[in-house]
Amino acid sequence: MATKVAQKRLQKEYLAMQKSPPPFVWASPEEKNILDWHFIIRGPPDTPYEGGEFHGLIWFPSDYPFKPPDVKFFTPSGRFEIGHKICMSMTSYHPSTWNAAWSVATILTGLLSFMLSNEITAGGVKTTDEEKRILARQSHAYNLKSKKFRDVFPDYATPEMTDLPDMGVPPASTRLFDLHQPLKRILLLFHLLLFFERKIPYKREQSNERSGVLLGTGSLAGAG
């Protein structure tokens, strides 16, 4: 069961996700358990995952944000084993590197960036780019067979794949900086999230009011 701190923090992050989701990702908690968040990652253009739709789960500890979550995928991608925890710096594999300021948006943007890399890790698999492309083409049909996917994402469980709120097309005003290239935009957003969230004074207070700053007040993910 989530602590009051975890519940308030995750409620705030859900509102932030609805208001200003990162490109190529979407997530929402289960109705009966706010600690379990299902997500969709869409494969960016000009990558082996282009056109793919990858369903996964982030599950948070009851004392989030003091401890990191874990992540796994349900949709085959050719990058990660399905149903296995993924080793990355933002998961329980590396608790010493966890930052309480990191949000759902940070985690998912970091996960997408990690997915596009070739780094070998626990929970990862090695396949060719062509194999990844084949799995990407099959991904939506695969997801439609999953009752959990249909229950959690009814708006996306349609015969034809539905776009996420942000499919990586920036406003015209940003194109001057060549940010329309999806991979560049993902990496830039990820580093910006890390930079700004590290500036937030998250402290562990021992009093009953220690949770005040841990609710994400002023964070980039919640500022929207």
- Give the pLDDT confidence of 135-166 residue by residue, as tens digits: 999 999 999 999 999 999 999 999 999 999 99
Statement: residue 95 has pLDDT above 70:
yes
Q: Which of 30-39, 74-83, 148-157, 163-172 has the lowest mean pLDDT?
A: 163-172
| Domains along the sequence of the chain with CATH | 4-204 (3.10.110.10)
Classify the phi-psi angles of 184: left when phi > 0, otherwise alpha if psi is within -120 to 50, otherwise beta: alpha
Strands (E) across 98-213 are located at none
- Residue 183, pLDDT score: 56
pLDDT average, residue stretch 41-53: 96
168 pLDDT tier (thresholds 50, 70, 90)? confident
More confident residue, 201 or 158: 158
Task: Give the β-pairing of 33-42 and 70-73.
Answer: unpaired
Q: Is 166 a catalytic residue?
A: no
Burial of 113 from C-beta contacts in 10 A (0-12 / 13-18 / 19+): middle
CB 90 within 8 A of CB 98: yes
Cα separation, 146 vs 195, in Å, equals 37
185 pLDDT tier (thresholds 50, 70, 90)? low
- Residue 179, pLDDT score: 43
- Residue 123, pLDDT score: 83
Count of helices and strands (H, E) across the chain: 6, 4
More confident residue, 55 or 182: 55
- Residue 118, pLDDT score: 86
Q: What is the pTM of this model?
A: 0.78
- The side-by-side arrangement of strands in the sheet containing 33-42 is 25-30, 33-42, 53-59, 70-73
Q: Which residues fall within 8 angstroms of residue 178, CB to CB, at 6 or more apart?
A: 184
Statement: residue 195 has pLDDT above 70:
no
- Residue 200, pLDDT score: 46
- Residue 207, pLDDT score: 41
Of 2, 41, 87, 221, catalytic? 87
Backbone angles phi, psi at 54, to 5 degrees: -115, 115
Coil, strand or helix at 49: coil
pLDDT tens-digit map of 107-129? 999 999 999 988 888 888 999 99
- Residue 146, pLDDT score: 98
Cα separation, 170 vs 136, in Å, equals 24
